Amino acid sequence: MQRLSTLLTVGLLALGSASAFADASCDTVKMADPGWSDIAATNAITGFLLDGMGYKAKVDTLAVPITFGGLKDGQVDVFLGNWMPAQQGFYDKFVASGDVTQLAKNLDGTEFTLAVPDYVWDAGVHDFADLNKFADKFDRKIYGIGSGAPANLSLQEIIKKNDFDMGQWKLIESSEQAMLAEVSRAIKKQKFVTFLGWTPHPMNVQLKMHYLKGGEKYFGDTGSVHTLTRKGYAQACPNVGKLLTNLSFTQDMENSIMAEVVNKKVSNADAAKAWIKANPVVLDKWLDGVKTVDGKDALPAVKAKL
């Protein structure tokens, strides 16, 4: 009887050690950021919550193709920036194949397509089909974002197929910040310019701009943003998985945080914390059923960080 008791004790200790080891492997959450303002904001929100729960968020700046590859290979745990339908090609290759998991929708009602300043709109450019009518004024250039971004691939396809008679146009790829700096310079000179625009983003407040119609085949009408994880992550790390499943954002929320970063020159982390402090009711939904890393209720622990 004593031998059986000893065996049971050893077994329970072994299970406890295994459980602790499993928890420890989830303590650091590896996240990706393509260098986009909106994902920097949502990563900051998530990082604040994880910190309050006793976890650590590790964010690496990675291009979208590398992010998807990292999710497939297990080098990235979480990506909050699966914009659909803009990333349909990556979805088909990685998510539909089962190599990457689309865990939850975190934002609805997005817009992501070519845009023009108000004076270009007033001149008659309302549709993709209108662009080539003013080709010389645009210098046949489209300003996109970072190389490899799904939206850029769609624009390259338009050029390759000569859709909208744009076969002679050129896509200028650069970072989000560099693109917007180029657009701002063009606007100051009242030059014709077309560029990738999206909402939520501070550009919608900072620039007098309009989104073009006609590109729905490539960019959809309105879209949504989803949370992706590496395969099996929510099962391996169920507590973080529960948080990620609960997380949903609004355009007003993201725009407010991003505007704070741009206008007041504060960090994304400080802007996210300030927004949550001003709107603590969101924590009830986000932290429903979520625990700290040591098994306590997450809600009071996160509120204590405010």
87 and 66 assigned to the same domain = yes
Q: Is residue 237 part of a domain?
A: yes
Q: Could you read off the pLDDT of 57-98 as tens digits, one per residue?
A: 999 999 999 999 999 999 999 999 999 998 999 999 999 999
pLDDT band at 29; cut points 50, 70, 90: very high
**pLDDT of 9:** 40
Q: Could you read off the pLDDT of 93-129 as tens digits, one per residue?
A: 999 999 999 999 999 999 999 999 999 999 999 999 9
CA dihedral 101→104→107→110, nearest 10 degrees, is 40
Show Cβ contacts of residue 66 under 8 Å, excluding neighbours closer than 6 positions.
Answer: 148
286 and 155 assigned to the same domain = no
* CATH number, domain containing residue 70: 3.40.190.10
Asked whether residue 251 carries a pLDDT value surpassing 70, the answer given is yes
157 and 232 assigned to the same domain = no
Asked whether residue 4 carries a pLDDT value surpassing 90, the answer given is no
In angstroms, rounded to a whole number, what is the distance separating the alpha carbons of residues 79 and 108?
Answer: 16
Q: Is residue 171 part of a domain?
A: yes
Query: Which burial class, exposed, middle or buried, applies to 35 when counting CB atoms under 10 A from its CB (0-12, 13-18, 19+)?
Result: middle
In angstroms, rounded to a whole number, what is the distance separating the alpha carbons of residues 177 and 182?
Answer: 9
Closest to 219 in 3D by CA, of 200, 234, 246, 197:
197
Q: Is residue 43 part of a domain?
A: yes
Q: Is residue 7 part of a domain?
A: no
Asked whether residue 201 carries a pLDDT value surpassing 60, the answer given is yes
Q: Domain ends where: 181, 198, 218?
A: 218
**pLDDT of 175:** 93
pTM: 0.81
In the block, which residue shows the tokens 């700096």? 181
Asked whether residue 22 carries a pLDDT value surpassing 90, the answer given is no
Segment 194-203 shows an average pLDDT of 93
8 Å CB contact between 115 and 194: yes
**pLDDT of 206:** 87
Q: Domain ends where: 218, 250, 268?
A: 218
167 and 96 assigned to the same domain = no
Segment 185-212 shows an average pLDDT of 95
**pLDDT of 19:** 38
Report the number of distinct structural domains present in the chain.
2
Enter the tokens of residue 19.
Answer: 């459980």
Segment 258-286 shows an average pLDDT of 96
Q: Could you read off the pLDDT of 132-172 as tens digits, one per residue?
A: 999 999 999 999 999 888 999 999 999 999 999 999 999 99
8 Å CB contact between 299 and 276: no
Q: Is residue 14 part of a domain?
A: no
42 and 57 assigned to the same domain = yes
Range of the domain at 193: 111-218
**pLDDT of 234:** 97
Q: Is residue 20 part of a domain?
A: no
176 and 244 assigned to the same domain = no
170 and 210 assigned to the same domain = yes
Query: Which burial class, exposed, middle or buried, applies to 158 when counting CB atoms under 10 A from its CB (0-12, 13-18, 19+)?
Result: buried
Q: Is residue 16 part of a domain?
A: no
Q: Domain ends where: 152, 183, 218?
A: 218
